[in-house]
């Protein structure tokens, strides 16, 4: 079973009352993935939160990040290059970016 995390808190204050901050299980073809919805967060928070999550994952684990910060594609490309992770996919649609990252094997 995969795990989805939607983050809506920043510096101890809620950003948006409609955001669900609870982890949600994912079933089906996406089982084994961890998905983080980081929309509404601006640089550097999406990368910092993804770094914390990927550090808790097993080698080869897949992290899917959803963000709407315009700097996110460049930030995650740099994050993967410097951390040895594989940026498997980076897709933009209507101002929302989805990055699929495989954690480094070593």
Q: How far apart are CA 74 and CA 76, in angstroms?
A: 6
Q: Assess contact for 104 and 88: CB atoms under 8 A.
A: no
The token duo for 14 is 């809620």
DSSP-derived 3-state class of residue 29:
helix
Whether 80 is catalytic is: no
Catalytic hit among 3, 15, 26, 43: 43
Q: How far apart are CA 102 and CA 65, in angstroms?
A: 11
37, 56, 63, 67, 103 from 99: Cα distances, Å:
11, 18, 8, 8, 13
Residues acting as catalytic residues: 43
């Amino acid at each position: 079973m995969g795990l989805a995390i939607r983050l809506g808190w920043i510096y101890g204050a809620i950003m948006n009352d409609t955001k669900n901050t609870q982890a949600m299980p994912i079933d089906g073809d996406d089982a084994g993935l961890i998905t983080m919805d980081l929309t509404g967060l601006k640089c550097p928070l999406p990368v910092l939160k993804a770094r914390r999550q990927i550090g808790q994952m097993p080698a080869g684990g897949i992290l899917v990040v959803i963000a709407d910060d315009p700097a996110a594609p460049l930030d995650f490309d740099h994050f993967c290059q410097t951390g040895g992770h594989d940026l498997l996919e980076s897709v933009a649609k209507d101002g929302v970016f989805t990055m699929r990252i495989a954690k480094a094997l070593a």
